[in-house]
Amino acid sequence: MTLDVALVMKLGGFTLDLAFAAPPGITVLYGRSGSGKTSIINAVAGLARPDAGRITVEGEVLFDSRAGVNMPAHKRRMGCIFQDARLFPHLTVAQNLAYGRWFSKTGPEEARVVEMLGIGPLLARRPGGLSGGERQRVAIGRALMAGPRMLLADEPLAALDEARKAEILPYFERLRDEMGVPVLYVSHSPAEVARLATTVVAIDAGQVVRQGPAADVLGDPQVTPLGPRAAGTVLEARVLAHHKDGLSELDAGGLRLHLPAVRHKEGALLRVHIQAADVMLATHRPQGVSALNVWPARVTELRMGTGPGAIAKLDAGGQVVLARITRRSAEALDLAPGREVFAVLKAVSVAPESVA
């Protein structure tokens, strides 16, 4: 199922003027706050009317300014998940789920939703007695019970602390991998994008600056809407071994990677997000250093920023790796395309939420 969006909306100091396609999986609208992401979600949901444009799902027209079509929100079959769960406080969890079912008789079986989200022990409780992560899981469940053809998630983790985010992320992964319900997901977190996205639509000041896989978008600092500090590498890796000292060993297309213990079993495939700022460069193989990840690499591109920073794009055994360094360091190391270097990464630099 594909969502096709083309719209024009005046938003305060700028105009949202863009077009993109959201294929099956999780499509992340990625950009800084105020770039127009929530307005897109509202337009797709039918909560806001664009000035012009056309929105279709599976070929069905939801909005077409030229044809005068603007399908009411309740007929669009979109499940919405917001920053705050917006559960009915006077109803139990079971009753909140039942409310979702009221909108559709063709949604998934309640038992499947309850099991997938791990909310069985919560069914008799009311929202006031739940943690933030538990409330969001129930909100996801209520949206699924309505049998939506697509979920619209507007920064659903923004109001949660890191522990609660880590609790919720696996459930969005299960939505992507097991339920088959497409998701349009708003985020300004590179780690969330790297972990969840099937497709990324990078937005800046109301414009689409790039669309594609997470590795391509996050790996190109020239188009990363949050700027060079948000640039990073997304590696597809397989778990090789879990060692007794608490480290896991991974293989990313021939590139060996040691990280603090990951929760995945040996042989499992996962994604690893590495921030460019966590990668150091050396012109000779470092000796006597604590970093466990040292990779021979070649500089393929060097981009100087407007300030003191620079981004080096590397080929490390066939894998693209980004390193964010200072201009002074780039000059001192005489970096240029073709220069042979070593990329250095501390194992503990990669946070648990950056591995999925």
* 3-230 has CATH 3.40.50.300 classification: yes
Q: Is the pLDDT of residue 104 over 80?
A: no
Tokens of 154: 């507007």
What does pLDDT average to over the chain?
91
d(CA 272, CA 290): 21
CATH number of 266-348: 2.40.50.100
Beta-carbon contacts of residue 213 (< 8 Å; ≥ 6 apart) = 197, 198, 199, 200
pLDDT, one tens digit per residue, over 116-139 is: 899 999 999 999 999 999 999 999
Beta-carbon contacts of residue 96 (< 8 Å; ≥ 6 apart) = 87, 88, 127, 138, 141, 142
Q: Is the pLDDT of residue 190 over 90?
A: no
d(CA 162, CA 171): 15
Instruction: Report the pLDDT averaged over residues 159-166.
Output: 84
Q: Identify the pLDDT of residue 354.
A: 74
- Nearest CA to 25 out of 158, 150, 148 is that of 150
Tokens of 281: 């460069």
Instruction: Report the pLDDT averaged over residues 298-316.
Output: 90
- Nearest CA to 37 out of 225, 218, 239 is that of 225
Q: Identify the pLDDT of residue 126.
A: 95
- Nearest CA to 322 out of 305, 303, 338 is that of 303
CA 74 to chain centre: 27
Helix 110-117 × helix 132-145 angle, to 10°: 150
CA distances from 258 to 89, 239, 248, 289 (A): 45, 10, 6, 15
Contact between 97 and 145 under an 8 Å Cβ cutoff? The reply is yes
d(CA 295, CA 292): 10
d(CA 28, CA 8): 19
- Nearest CA to 185 out of 155, 212, 210 is that of 155
Of the listed ranges 55-59, 94-98, 126-130, 227-231, the least confidently predicted one is 227-231
Tell the residue number behind the tokens 């021979």, with chain if given.
Answer: 296
Q: Identify the pLDDT of residue 169.
A: 87
Contact between 32 and 204 under an 8 Å Cβ cutoff? The reply is yes
- Model confidence at 219, in pLDDT bands (50, 70, 90)? confident
CATH 3.40.50.300 location in the chain: 3-230
Length of the chain: 356
Which stretch of DSSP H or E encloses residue 140?
A: helix 132-145
Q: Identify the pLDDT of residue 228.
A: 67
The whole-model pTM stands at 0.86
For residue 323, give the DSSP letter: E
Please indicate whether residue 259 or residue 231 has the higher confidence score (pLDDT): 259
Beta-carbon contacts of residue 200 (< 8 Å; ≥ 6 apart) = 27, 28, 30, 193, 210, 211, 212, 213, 214, 216, 217, 218
Is 310 exposed, middle or buried, given 0-12, 13-18 or 19+ CB atoms closer than 10 A? buried
Percentage of residues in the chain with pLDDT exceeding 90? 67
CATH 2.40.50.100 location in the chain: 266-348
Instruction: Report the pLDDT averaged over residues 5-31.
Output: 93
Strand, coil or helix: 88: coil
